[in-house]
Amino acid sequence: MKRLLQFAVLLAFLAQGCTKSLDYKSPAGPDGGEPGDTTSTTSTTLATYAWPSGLDESRRSTVYQVTLTQGDTSVEIPVFQNVCPSYQAGYMNMTTTDQNPLNIFAGRSISWANFSFSAPVTVEVKVIDTGKVPVDAANTHIIPTRYGISAAVRDNVVTFTISQPGQCSVEIGANGYKNGLMIFANPMESNPPTTASDGYAVLDRASAASVANVPSTKTGLYFKAGVHDIGVYTVPANIKNIYLEGGAWVYGALELQGRPDVKIFGRGVLSSDRLNYRQAYCIEGVNGSDRMTIDGITVADKRYFAIRLISVSDTISWVKVIGGWVYNTDGIVAWDGSYIHNCFSWANDDNIKAYRSGVKFEDMVLWQLNNGGAIQMGWQDPYSENIEIRRVDILHGEWNKDDFNRGVLCLVGNRYGYAGSDVYIKNFLVEDLVTETTMPLIWRITPDAAVAGNICTVNGIVMRNWNVKMNTAASGYANHIVGISASQPIQGVEFDNVVMNGVKLTSSNWQTQGKFTDFSNTDTPTFN
């Protein structure tokens, strides 16, 4: 099945001038205004969002500038930056466990630019700090590779054309990702509200006090472009729609307790940068907060999980999760019957979390730091049947040791011995997965059962159409699929066209080619 959303270079569009895009002159600011102009640009085929009025200039990227060209129009768009903080004991509730990742990633940053479109756009990336990112024309590419983007490089400018929405990384040189750039190319919004829409409280520079005082007759919040600081906001029963306008930057977090049918959407940013570490999940829905919809926003600077929906039948689409350097900055979780698609997720803990039945992830782009599973099958008491995960592109997996909670596909189980926490997983499919760069390890499916009598049923792990890379020469790293006992083995493991380092795994080569050093308490896998 072809990926529905892909990037491509349009030959016809190239013929109209994209090959000459390096010759375009960038305007000083949006619509030709001064740099930092707060004017947005919107047409029927391109929407850009101005720098949020009032946002500290420290959030502007010091490494990249991005200009978009569509037809005869060129516009420079804001490029945001998240910098790995320095460890300071006790600062904003930093703990000693935060010291290790912050030391590992010291000096790094991640930048991103955001727009929406429905017709081909030429993207011009100018590297303005070549000390941090030396431009290497021979080693510059745009990933995921399935998008089919080719880049032109001249001097310190990288240019490419995109034709369909998605999220991609501009990879310049072998280590450019350490101060990387993500391009978030969204579909155009469909029927967004306006400031005149019925039921909305229109918020300008909102605070915790102002959102708390929204009249109970209002059913929606409309965050206008600019900076807001709402703290940890507990959504009341009357609010069903929360809209973040493009150019809105909302500091804080959203908590929903027993609030079904709420929609959080738009093209703005929800940032946890002013919260203490592990103070709140960026978005949390629990206790019957079912059928939530989260669409289009960017979730940035997380200090805890990005999206934690312990609720059913949720839909999460076109969300971009970026920033967050310490452990416990997990990605996205939603429970039974939820559908998560076309999202980008950056995490330094478990990224895709599929713990309950009927959950489906599709068209996901992941960036994994040094901790957690890119796809985590379950901690403590997963109970899931018929999980479907399709079309996953892992840009980077930066695990720094072979550990129980690391790897492309990971299952921890009841490691910490919670009473009554059995593991039940049946029919878990991961299809069409690519690692864009070489991973330290791929499989760590080792469910623990720390309580006597703990039941662990794992039956049916199907890996279909994988193309993965692993550094098999690295010492101290190996792949593991291990059941808890001979009487409770892992069953139904299937490798269906799984290619590792360019070689398909078969019944005769899988242990050596796959670098499996431990496959105990597991039935012999099948191969297709």
Encode pLDDT of 22-47 as tens digits: 332 333 333 333 444 446 888 899 99
- Residue 176 pLDDT exceeds 90: yes
Residue 4 included in any domain? no
- For residue 165, say if its preceding peptide bond is cis, omega within 30 degrees of 0: no
pLDDT for position 231: 98
Phi, psi of 426, deg, nearest 5:
-140, 130
pTM of the shown model? 0.93
Could you tell me if 229 and 133 lie in one domain? Answer: no
Could you tell me if 393 and 331 lie in one domain? Answer: no
Could you tell me if 18 and 43 lie in one domain? Answer: yes
- Residue 187 pLDDT exceeds 80: yes
Strand partners, 301: none
What average pLDDT does the segment 272-293 reach?
98
Q: Which two tokens stand for residue 215?
A: 């009249």
Could you tell me if 183 and 88 lie in one domain? Answer: yes
- Residue 372 pLDDT exceeds 90: yes
Could you tell me if 174 and 72 lie in one domain? Answer: yes
Domain final residue, candidates 147, 162, 187? 187
Mean residue pLDDT across the chain: 92
Domain final residue, candidates 164, 187, 210? 187
Residue 48 included in any domain? yes
Residue 333 included in any domain? yes
pLDDT for position 416: 86
Domain final residue, candidates 161, 187, 213? 187
Residue 366 included in any domain? no
Above pLDDT 70, what percent of the chain?
Answer: 92
pLDDT for position 12: 37
**DSSP 3-state assignment of 177?**
helix
Residue 3 included in any domain? no
Model pLDDT for residues 489-507, shown as the tens digit of each residue = 999 999 999 999 999 999 9
Residue 361 included in any domain? no
Q: Domain containing 236 — which CATH number? A: 2.160.20.10
Model pLDDT for residues 416-450, shown as the tens digit of each residue = 888 889 999 999 999 999 999 999 999 999 998 76
Residue 195 included in any domain? no
- pLDDT band at residue 2 using 50, 70 and 90 as cut-offs: very low
pLDDT for position 25: 32
Q: Nearest-CA neighbor of 383 among 403, 360, 357?
A: 357
Could you tell me if 84 and 20 lie in one domain? Answer: yes
Q: Nearest-CA neighbor of 251 among 214, 299, 215?
A: 299
Could you tell me if 398 and 528 lie in one domain? Answer: yes
Check: CB of residue 336 under 8 Å from CB of residue 358.
Answer: yes
What average pLDDT does the segment 280-288 reach?
98
Range scoring the smallest mean pLDDT among 5-9, 150-154, 228-232, 336-340: 5-9
Could you tell me if 42 and 99 lie in one domain? Answer: yes
In angstroms, what CA-CA distances link 239 with 112, 234, 259?
30, 10, 9
- Helix (H) or strand (E) segment spanning residue 283: strand 283-286
Q: Which residues form the domain of 179?
A: 11-187
- Residue 235 pLDDT exceeds 90: yes
Range scoring the smallest mean pLDDT among 8-12, 172-176, 390-394: 8-12
Check: CB of residue 289 under 8 Å from CB of residue 255.
Answer: no
pLDDT for position 43: 84
What average pLDDT does the segment 60-81 reach?
97
Q: Which two tokens stand for residue 241?
A: 């729609």
Residue 31 included in any domain? yes
Number of domains in the chain: 3
Could you tell me if 231 and 102 lie in one domain? Answer: no
pLDDT for position 454: 84
pLDDT for position 39: 63
In angstroms, what CA-CA distances link 204 with 197, 227, 236, 465?
16, 8, 19, 49
Concatenated DSSP letters of 325-365: -STT---EEE-TT-EEEEEEEEESS--EE--BTT-EEEEEE
Bigger pLDDT: 415 or 369? 369
For the chain, the 3-state helix, strand and coil shares in percent, each to the nearest 5, are 10, 45, 45
Could you tell me if 238 and 263 lie in one domain? Answer: yes
- Residue 245 pLDDT exceeds 70: yes
Q: Nearest-CA neighbor of 224 among 240, 200, 248?
A: 248
- Residue 1 pLDDT exceeds 60: no
Could you tell me if 175 and 209 lie in one domain? Answer: no
Could you tell me if 207 and 182 lie in one domain? Answer: no
Range scoring the smallest mean pLDDT among 42-46, 56-60, 208-212, 522-526: 42-46
